């Protein structure tokens, strides 16, 4: 399967809610998917999202995001790394 790159513009994000509002639709998450780290892991590993591994989530403009959003980006990165290990697939977060 070819590598999918999901590009998001993070400039202007202030909270974790802003991150989720951009990330879940970009991944093609089901409508019932909530803003939860556990749910994100589960939806990736169970292949519930429209975007499937291998994938890279690129965040542009993160330097212009608020501190709460930036802190949460670290937690998202950890979830993606855990899913990559679980699946043996390339799944990563890049901040540009």
Buried-exposed string 45-61: b where 16+ CB fall within 10 A, e elsewhere: beebbeebbebbbbbee
pLDDT at 24: 98
Cβ(4)–Cβ(55) below 8 Å: yes
The confidence band for 96, taking pLDDT boundaries of 50, 70 and 90, is: confident
pLDDT at 1: 78
Q: Tens digits of per-residue pLDDT, 57-83?
A: 999 998 899 999 999 999 999 999 999
Q: CATH says 4-95 is which class?
A: alpha beta
**Per-domain residue ranges of the chain:** 4-95
Q: Tens digits of per-residue pLDDT, 3-46?
A: 999 999 999 999 999 999 999 999 999 999 999 999 999 999 99
Cβ(10)–Cβ(62) below 8 Å: yes
């Amino acid at each position: 399967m070819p590598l999918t790159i999901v590009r998001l513009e993070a400039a202007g994000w202030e909270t974790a809610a802003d991150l989720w509002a951009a990330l879940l639709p970009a991944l093609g998450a089901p409508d019932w998917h909530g803003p939860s780290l556990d749910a994100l892991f589960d939806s990736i590993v169970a292949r519930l999202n429209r975007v499937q591994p291998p994938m890279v989530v690129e965040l542009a403009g993160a330097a212009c995001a608020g501190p709460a959003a930036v802190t949460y980006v670290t937690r998202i990165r950890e979830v993606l790394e855990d899913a990559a290990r679980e699946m043996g697939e390339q799944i990563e977060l890049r901040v540009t």
